[in-house]
Structure 1
Amino acid sequence: MLAFYLKKSKLRVLGLKKLFKSNKNPDEQFVYNLRALLGFKIKNILLYKKAFTHRSTNLKDKEGFSFNYERLEFLGDSVLGTIISNYLYSRYNDYNEGDLTKLRSKIINRYSLNKIGFSLKLHRLVKASFRVNGLSDDIHGNLLEALVGAIYVDKGYKICENFVIKKIIVRINFSDINKSIISYKAALIEWGQKEKKKVKFKTKINTELNNKNYFYSTLFIDQIKIAYAIDESKKKAEEKVSKISYRILEIN
């Protein structure tokens, strides 16, 4: 009878723990989720709150400076580049400077970082003045770099390096990334120079779609129209049309 009572009491306690876990306030939930992601104790929680605050909130700190992830993103970009460079230098003894630079560029380019940031579900922690799905895909890579910056400031280089290796580098398929193309636009221009073809982009703003500014880019090879694409920035539109054209032309 006593054993049954103790077992029943234990179940009640477990039920209460589960209940309290699901009823955390936003700050507690943020810390709980962040610790689960990082795997280490946090010293300065304010740094991490800043790393996940979008500029759209228009928040200010006590000194009146903007409270968002952009400065940490700037720092994280440099720290991440250093850690990745050191990792590649140690791993690929037979690679020369050019090979290492190309491989690093493929790892820390925007597409790759966005993919890794999304897989870590960093967008679930972001604080913005509108829904996360209203932000561009770059939010995932931006948050990843800001998080790296926050870890570096809070815990130092060694723990930051450990995080990058265990959480970021482990998600990279090096055999696939070696074959990947960083920029289809650059690859297409390089192909044009090699084949003595004139590659030309004609890009203009289109305001007819949902009353928003979109860029309409058309690609020509020797004055022959190959393809067109539309996106929210000139850079993205030209990259998109380059990718489409690259496949149409079946460039190896």
Structure 2
Amino acid sequence: MSQSSKNHKKPRTTNQERRRSPRRLTLSNEQRERFDLLQKEIGFMFENKKLLIQAFTHSSYVNEHRIYTFQDNERLEFLGDAVLELAISQFLYKKFKSMSEGDMTKLRASIVCEPSLAKFAQELNFGQLVLLGKGEEITGGRLRPALLADIFESFIGALYLDQGMEAVYEFLTKTIYPKVDEGAFSHMMDFKSQLQELIQRDNLGQIQYVIVQERGPAHNREFVSEVQLNDASLGVGTGRSKKEAEQHAAQQALVKLSQKSPS
């Protein structure tokens, strides 16, 4: 062998250097089983399982295990935020045809805010699957609202990339849209005022609210309100107070009137 060949020999990689170099993410059998169970529970089987796992991989886990930095969920979170906003915007646009741009913006904000997204993630037990570094685990990161909200967004991003927008709509139809239908975010909106404006604008007649039922013990009372248009039932809602029940009834009335109006 020539002297020049000897001089260009590749230096050997030491064990210490191997430990320092980035590695691919690997899961235990138990962790893989958890992700398999999640897919069965939500009704979506990912074609690219790496996307699903990445959605639940926190940066603290990547840093601690010296995994490639692009394998955490931050890029998916960025994408999921935009996808979720579009999906919610379309749903509100189609559902509340008489709602103003300003009111739709406020309602959407209450749905995609951190507390709401964290609650959705908790209901789906997303926190149990998050891959966390030990430090983040010890300080309660698995239950931290900001972390859970980010996980929900990164999951939406992963689902969109793996199966497209229709899958996102289908997933939200099972998880978020029913909550909007039930009036879970009506505290952010004044549906009674919206209904009154619509009735007056179109000269539809007179509306009134009637408490048709009170149920439950005194310390846990529930009221059922019916909003009537020209003495005909237009919507029914329930709530812990009469005002809350009326708001829910008005929300249902708005939906009913929107369905009758031309697209």
Q: CA 1:124/1:102 → structure 2, altered by over 3 Å: closer, same or farther?
A: same
Residue by residue over 1:184-236, the C-alpha shift from the partner in whole angstroms, topping out at 9 and shown as x without a partner, is: xxxxxxxxxxxxxxxxxxxxxxxxxxxxxxxxxxxxxxxxxxxxxxxxxxxxx
1:26 is displaced (CA, Å) by 2.2
Q: CA 1:123/1:83 → structure 2, altered by over 3 Å: closer, same or farther?
A: same
Is residue 2:78 matched to residue 1:70? Answer: no
1:157 is displaced (CA, Å) by 0.8
Misfit runs of 4+, over 6 Å: none
Matched residue type, 1:139: L
Is residue 2:173 matched to residue 1:169? Answer: no
> Counterpart of 1:150?
158
Please give the TM-score of this superposition, normalised by the length of structure 1.
Answer: 0.57
Counterpart selection for 1:31 from 27, 31, 35:
35
Q: Computing the radius of gyration over CA atoms, which structure comes out larger, 1 or 2?
A: 2
> Counterpart of 2:44?
40
Is residue 2:149 matched to residue 1:141? Answer: yes
Q: Distance in 1 between matches of 2:185 and 2:38?
A: 29
Please give the TM-score of this superposition, normalised by the length of structure 2.
Answer: 0.55
Q: CA 1:153/1:60 → structure 2, altered by over 3 Å: closer, same or farther?
A: farther
Q: What is the SS of the residue equivalent to 1:85? A: helix
The equivalences for 1:100-111 within 5 A come to: 100-111=104-115
Structure 1 gap segments, 5+ residues each: 1-23, 182-252
Counterpart selection for 2:167 from 159, 183, 188:
159
> Counterpart of 1:178?
186
Q: How high is the sequence identity, in percent, across the aligned residues?
A: 32
> Counterpart of 2:100?
96
Q: Distance in 1 between matches of 2:125 and 2:139?
A: 13
Matched residue type, 2:101: E
1:70 is displaced (CA, Å) by 0.9
Q: Distance in 2 between matches of 1:133 and 1:172?
A: 33
Q: Is this contact kept in 2: 1:76–1:149, CA < 8 A?
A: yes
Q: How many residues align?
A: 156
1:167 is displaced (CA, Å) by 2.0
Q: Distance in 1 between matches of 2:150 and 2:113?
A: 11
Structure 2 gap segments, 5+ residues each: 1-27, 190-263
Is residue 2:128 matched to residue 1:120? Answer: no
1:60 is displaced (CA, Å) by 6.3
Q: CA 1:172/1:92 → structure 2, altered by over 3 Å: closer, same or farther?
A: closer
Residue by residue over 1:134-182, the C-alpha shift from the partner in whole angstroms, topping out at 9 and shown as x without a partner, is: 213212111110100000000011111111121232244653412149x
> Counterpart of 2:198?
none
1:129 is displaced (CA, Å) by 1.1
CA RMSD of the aligned region, Å? 2.1
Matched residue type, 1:91: K
Q: Distance in 1 between matches of 2:39 and 2:52?
A: 11
Q: Is this contact kept in 1: 2:59–2:69, CA < 8 A?
A: no
Q: Distance in 2 between matches of 1:41 and 1:132?
A: 31
1:27 is displaced (CA, Å) by 4.0
Q: Distance in 2 between matches of 1:160 and 1:132?
A: 33
1:34 is displaced (CA, Å) by 2.2
Residue by residue over 1:36-87, the C-alpha shift from the partner in whole angstroms, topping out at 9 and shown as x without a partner, is: 23302210000011000110012566xx443111110110010000000000
